[in-house]
Amino acid sequence: MRSTLDLIARSTDRGLANPSTLFNSFFLGGFECSSHVRRDGRRLDVLAQTEHDVRAVADYLRLSHYGIGAVRDGLRWHLIEREPKRYDFRSFLPMLHAARDTHTQVIWDLAHYGWPDHLDIWSTSFVERFVDYARAVARVVRAETNTVPIYTPINEISFWAWAGGEVGYLNPFATSRGGELKRILVRSAIGAIEAIRTVDHRARFVTAEPLIYIFPRSTAVDDVLQAAGYNEAQFEACDLLSGGLEPGLGGRPEYLDIIGVNFYHNNQWIDGGPRVHLGEGRHRPLNELLAWVKNRYARPLFIAETGTEAEGRGPWLHYVCNEVARAREAGTDVEGICLYPILNHAGWDDDRHCHNGMMCGVEPGGARTVYQPLAAELRRQQHLLAYPEARYF
């Protein structure tokens, strides 16, 4: 007899209007899983703060009710490897089992800005230790599930390298070492991909990177060239992974498998100046940026993170979906859109309640509620996937 979970999960309309060849649903839900250490010494654990780590079954089932059958989620390396080379998966197994039992497809982040306290990210052993950890994770996933696994080895290599190595915002709080940190993270990702494939050759890999656009501060040649250089630099992590840049680092084309782009309302700005927001004349349409990435790499592509806060959540999804529709009509295949985060959480720096998800409930033990304007827009967009001719009427 099928379990109650099986009956509930299979009774939803998660397959409605799903043009994706990669994911169980075109729309994905992303659970914020940052686990970095703040400058004041406090380690964040957003999965624990939102209680998603212990409420994953209910969270996945609720998303399934809204037609979402695929998610981004994460492991917490600092909990799994509290002691060097000794792995304790008790923090992960309930989530892995929740995904299995609710038939939810998960892209698992192995490192989302955090690492164990006893490990120095600048040490020569960091890459080796991350590779060992990734291999151990793959063994557990292979033993406990039978679906094709998808991993993001290192989330947002470019942002982490800039924030943690260049401007001292994230751990390890370094300055002027962004290039060095980026190459450590790239070598870690390469090693993890190789290690995971020795355990499970079926595994797929997502490289999730910010998608930005920087405008020159003036029409002067130097300013135009500088902005162009910054725009080109956003692709450095992908080029290092694929071996197109610095092949001696070990990159190869097959390491760049699925590309996820993270796009928010503040991802465009004037070099050294203010943000350029949607509605301003010079704002670059998202469909053009998606075509830019697709033409550059010719890899499967999806939006791995997108969203905003407060009343803008529904209108922002409306904009993103229309742009994705335009991109697809122009021949740029986009495999999915991940609403990120899907669950409200406390702010990294100030613990404020970030009203940025479709699901609410950041208080311990609090009921999960749904932000209905965003849920309604999601339903509308799912309908338009089924009947695209109605989109522009």
Provide the b/e sequence for 189-203 (b: ≥16 CB within 10 Å). bbbbbebbbebeeeb
Q: Is 310 exposed, middle or buried (0-12, 13-18, 19+ CB in 10 A)?
A: exposed
The DSSP H or E segment spanning 346 is strand 345-346
- Are the C-beta atoms of 369 and 381 separated by less than 8 Å? no
Contacts of 334 (CB under 8 A, 6+ apart): 290, 301, 302, 303, 324, 327, 328
Strand-pair category, 70-74 with 27-30: parallel
345 DSSP β-pair partners: 354
Nearest to 82 by CA among 40, 133, 131: 133
pLDDT of amino acid 366: 79
Burial class (CB in 10 A: 0-12, 13-18, 19+), 244: middle
pLDDT one digit per residue (tens) for the chain, 393 residues: 344 344 334 434 444 568 899 999 999 999 999 999 999 999 999 999 999 999 999 999 999 999 999 999 999 999 999 999 999 999 999 999 999 999 999 999 999 999 999 999 999 999 999 999 999 999 999 999 999 999 999 999 999 999 999 999 999 999 999 999 999 999 999 999 999 999 999 999 999 999 999 999 999 999 999 999 999 999 999 999 999 999 999 999 999 999 999 999 999 999 999 999 999 999 999 999 999 999 999 999 999 999 999 999 999 999 999 999 999 999 999 999 999 999 999 999 998 999 999 998 767 777 899 999 999 999 999 999 887 766 655
Contact 108, 144 (CB under 8 A): no
Global pTM reads: 0.94
C-alpha angle 174/179/183, rounded to 5°?
Answer: 110
Q: Are strands 345-346 and 105-111 parallel, antiparallel or unpaired?
A: unpaired
Structure tokens that stand for 54 in this block: 């212990």
pLDDT value at residue 299: 98
Q: How far is CA 29 from CA 72, 223, 295, in A?
A: 6, 39, 26
Domains of the chain: 4-390 (3.20.20.80)
Q: What's the full length of the chain, in residues?
A: 393
What DSSP string runs through 219-242? SSHHHHHHHHHHHHHTTHHHHHHH
Residues 113, 36 contacting (CB under 8 angstroms): yes
Q: Please report the pLDDT score of residue 136 as a whole number.
A: 98
**Alpha-carbon dihedral angle through residues 141, 144, 150, 156, given to the nearest 10 degrees:** -50
| Pairing label, strands 150-154, 213-215 | unpaired
Gap between the Cα atoms of 192 and 185, Å rounded? 10
Q: What angle do CA 244, 246, 251 make, to 5 degrees?
A: 60
What lies within 8 Å, CB to CB, of 245 at 6+ separation is 236, 239, 251
